[in-house]
Amino acid sequence: MRIERERMWGFFEWLFQQGGLLSGVLLVVLLSALAFTVCYLVAMARYGPGEGFYVVTRVIYELFARDLPNTSCKRIFAFAKLAFQEAIRRKVLAVMAVFIVALLFAGWFLDPNADYPAKLYISFVLTGTNYMVLLLGLFLSCFSLPADIKNKTVQTIVTKPVRSTEIVLGRVLGFTFVGTVLLVLMGLLSYVFVDRGLRHTHEAEEIAADGMSGTTSFDSHHAHTFNVNPNAVKEAATDEKKGHRHFVEITEVNGQRVYSIGPAEGMLEAKIPVFGSLKFTDREGKEADGLNVGYESNYQKYIEGGTLCSAIWSFNGITESLGDELPIELTLKAFRTYKGDIVTGVQGTIILRSSNGRVESERIPFVIKEFAVDERRVNRKLKGTVDQVPKELDLYKDIAPDGKMEVIVRCSDKGQYFGMSQADLFLRAGQNSFAWNMFKGYLGIWLQMLIIICFGVMFSTFLSGPVAMIATMTCLAIGFFGGIAEEVARGTTPGGGPVESMIRMANQAGAMVDLDLGNDVLEKSIQGVDTGIMGALYLLTMGLPSFNDLNTSEFVAYGVNIFEGLVARHMTMALGYFVLTAIVGYFFLKTREMAA
């Protein structure tokens, strides 16, 4: 799982420091200007330039002077009820039947021998729900209003004491209510499906003669082993298999030990991470950028083994509430320049250091676990040095007395490399409810559905049903693949823009060579046209919502608590698009109504 730096921002950090509020204001200004221009062109085609301008300005006046102040919630709910009844008549409940069938036959496609079945099950239900709900919102919102306009039903409505604001808002709320009902049902069924599919128990078997170790039965395609702690002979824990373990309760019955294996622990969870800031040092121990080993992705930087290259995470708020054992979780990556000992794996060390650098713990060795989460617990009492003098240390009193601490990671094997990003090492501050985390995951799906319905209703106010659906699907595609579109728009991809790329394909010229047509003026003209096209594409990608950012399914699947600041940010974005598309849809509908 990749947690980008942007997702760690707090709500107010995103809103003010990172320009979220400013971007929203600019988006409102640009889309308002675009809507005004389109409405003016429509009115101008019918009435002429002067009269068309008067018609559009009158629409703006009526919005703020009449329609908004006199908008009735009762009439909005009446339109919402009609939209709900219309959706039911269209048999949208068939989507629920398809979802149930998909869950019934999911066992045919989900691999029961997967290393992490929880991720597989959760990703399946969330992804399936996401696609179904988005398609449902797409079809519901794009065809309803154009059908009313085509059948002249809307002319009957607008002659009554109703307002265009009520028509637009009623459609959005009605279709959203339909989607919400289906999404709630899907969420409940998904939770039951995941819980029942992953729930299992074991029996204790093959107990050693001294009763201090044993093996569990082979159930759900795996078995565990466990060892009894001599200092706590009444309980034990199994080893970790398939992303979970079990606690073993030991009791005495008639002078014999009875071993009871508890339910799976760590399979359905919502870890609360504490992230720190990350910096790197070079071979000499001086601060520098991390190394690039040749991969195109810059998400992870690398440190060289057998040197003073280090990755240093700085944490704040280290208190005794973290417990007597500090939980550290790592998801590092290894890059090998030679095969070496493939059984043991690449080795490294962890050092805990005070913020002033005077207090250091002893080196804690570890072997990297690739493609898995490596959970380590550092005891509160540990050995180390104070001003290079050996001493017994207390984690909270000596290393982090001010609540600040550094965690240093180094690679021990010479010629090997460790790769990491800021989110690849964090402290585990506790555990949240998995059900609540899954609810927040489904809230992200609901917000995506709301935005799609808003765009569908907005486009349907001035386009026919099929064209409105194509326009909304284009927004959806750009929202999901906005990263690729943004790279093309910025001109960072080789081969130039669309016109230049077509010429290169016709001439069979590679993307990495200079465009040579033998005419500088023609080449500059082509690049100028591409610049304009890519500039428009860039503005389009910036103005549309990023559905990948709104999708928090990975957090739920990987057992990471969805940050409250991230949820607040997504809700703010959805509210902004709701208001914006409702106003733009009002302008289009009002102008179209006057033109009719």
Mean pLDDT of 539-564: 88
CA distance 86 to 360: 68
Q: pLDDT at position 540, please? A: 74
Distances in Å between the alpha carbon of 365 and those of 54, 376, 382? 76, 11, 14
Q: Is 230 a member of any domain?
A: yes
CA distance 10 to 472: 30
Length of the chain: 596
- DSSP, res 222: B
The partner residues of 560 in beta bridges, in order of sequence, read 271
Q: Say which residue, 481 or 579, is predicted with more confidence.
A: 579
Q: Say which residue, 154 or 338, is predicted with more confidence.
A: 338
Q: For the whole prediction, is pTM greater than 0.85?
A: yes
CA distance 35 to 42: 11
Distances in Å between the alpha carbon of 21 and those of 11, 12, 70, 90, 337? 11, 10, 29, 40, 47
Pick from 495, 508, 503: nearest CA to 534: 495
Same domain for 317 and 266, yes or no, is: no
Cα end-to-end span (Å), the chain: 53
Within 10 Å of residue 200's Cβ, how many Cβ atoms?
16
CA distance 486 to 541: 6
pLDDT classification of 488: cutoffs 50, 70, 90: low
Q: pLDDT at position 34, please? A: 79
Q: Is 531 a member of any domain?
A: no
For every residue of 282-341, which 3-state class applies, written as one string?
CCCCCEECCECCCCCCCCCEEEECCCCCEEEEEECCCCHHHCCEEEEEECCEEEECCCCC
Count of H-run helices and E-run strands, the chain: 16, 22
Could you report the per-residue pLDDT of 273-290, keeping only the tens digit for each?
Answer: 999 999 999 999 899 999
pLDDT exceeds 80 at position 317: yes
Same domain for 243 and 306, yes or no, is: no
Domain boundary among 420, 442, 457: 420
CA distance 395 to 441: 35
Same domain for 266 and 330, yes or no, is: no
CA distance 271 to 265: 13
Domain boundary among 370, 385, 420: 420
Query: Can you say whether the dihedral through the CA atoms of 309, 314, 315, 318 is positive or negative?
Result: positive
Q: Is 528 a member of any domain?
A: no
pLDDT exceeds 70 at position 485: no
Same domain for 392 and 316, yes or no, is: yes
Q: Are 167 and 80 in contact (CB under 8 A)?
A: no
pLDDT classification of 427: cutoffs 50, 70, 90: very high
CA distance 146 to 129: 27
Q: What percent of the chain has pLDDT over 90?
A: 46
CA atoms within 13 A on the CB side of 259: 27
Same domain for 409 and 366, yes or no, is: yes
What residues contact residue 347 under an 8 Å CB cut-off, 6+ apart?
Answer: 365, 366, 367, 368, 411, 412, 413
CA trace torsion 294, 295, 298, 299 (10° rounding): -140
Same domain for 259 and 306, yes or no, is: no
Task: Decide: residue 253, CB within 10 A, 0-12 exposed, 13-18 middle, 19+ buried.
Answer: exposed
Helix (H) or strand (E) holding 351: strand 347-354
Q: pLDDT at position 157, please? A: 61
pLDDT exceeds 90 at position 451: yes
Q: What percent of the chain has pLDDT over 70?
A: 94
* CATH classification of the domain holding 384: 2.60.120
Same domain for 218 and 260, yes or no, is: yes
The pair of three-digit structure tokens given for residue 526, joined into one six-digit string? 């082509």
Q: Is 431 a member of any domain?
A: no
Residue 374: which domain range? 301-420
Q: Is 350 a member of any domain?
A: yes
Q: Is 263 a member of any domain?
A: yes
Could you report the per-residue pLDDT of 43-74, keeping only the tens digit for each?
Answer: 888 888 888 888 888 888 888 888 889 888 99
The partner residues of 463 in beta bridges, in order of sequence, read none
Same domain for 410 and 348, yes or no, is: yes
Q: Is 214 a member of any domain?
A: yes
Same domain for 237 and 308, yes or no, is: no
Same domain for 416 and 328, yes or no, is: yes
Domain count of the fold of the chain: 2
- DSSP, res 378: E
Q: pLDDT at position 437, please? A: 95
Within 10 Å of residue 591's Cβ, how many Cβ atoms?
27
Q: pLDDT at position 342, please? A: 67
Same domain for 260 and 318, yes or no, is: no
Lowest mean pLDDT among 357-361, 392-396, 503-507, 508-512: 508-512
Could you report the per-residue pLDDT of 187-237, keeping only the tens digit for each?
Answer: 999 999 999 989 998 999 888 888 889 999 999 889 999 998 877 667 888
Pick from 130, 216, 42, 104: nearest CA to 480: 130
Pick from 217, 266, 219: nearest CA to 116: 266
Helix (H) or strand (E) holding 205: strand 204-205
Q: Mean pLDDT: which of 91-105, 212-226, 496-510 is highest?
A: 212-226
Query: Can you say whether the dihedral through the CA atoms of 515, 518, 524, 527 is positive or negative?
Result: negative
Could you report the per-residue pLDDT of 23-42, keeping only the tens digit for each?
Answer: 888 888 887 787 788 778 87
Lowest mean pLDDT among 133-142, 248-257, 387-396, 437-446: 248-257
Q: pLDDT at position 151, please? A: 66
For every residue of 57-123, which 3-state class applies, written as one string?
HHHHHHHHHHHCCCCCHHHHHHHHHHHHHHHHHCCCCHHHHHHHHHHHCHHHCCCCCCCCHHHHHHH
Distances in Å between the alpha carbon of 414 and those of 259, 303, 309, 337? 46, 11, 11, 10
Angle among Cα 446, 447, 452 to the nearest 5 degrees reads: 95
Average of per-residue pLDDT values in the chain: 87
What residues contact residue 231 under an 8 Å CB cut-off, 6+ apart?
Answer: none
Distances in Å between the alpha carbon of 94 and those of 24, 66, 107, 129? 37, 41, 22, 14
pLDDT exceeds 60 at position 159: no
Q: Is 229 a member of any domain?
A: yes
Same domain for 415 and 305, yes or no, is: yes
Q: pLDDT at position 367, please? A: 93
Domain boundary among 420, 449, 471: 420
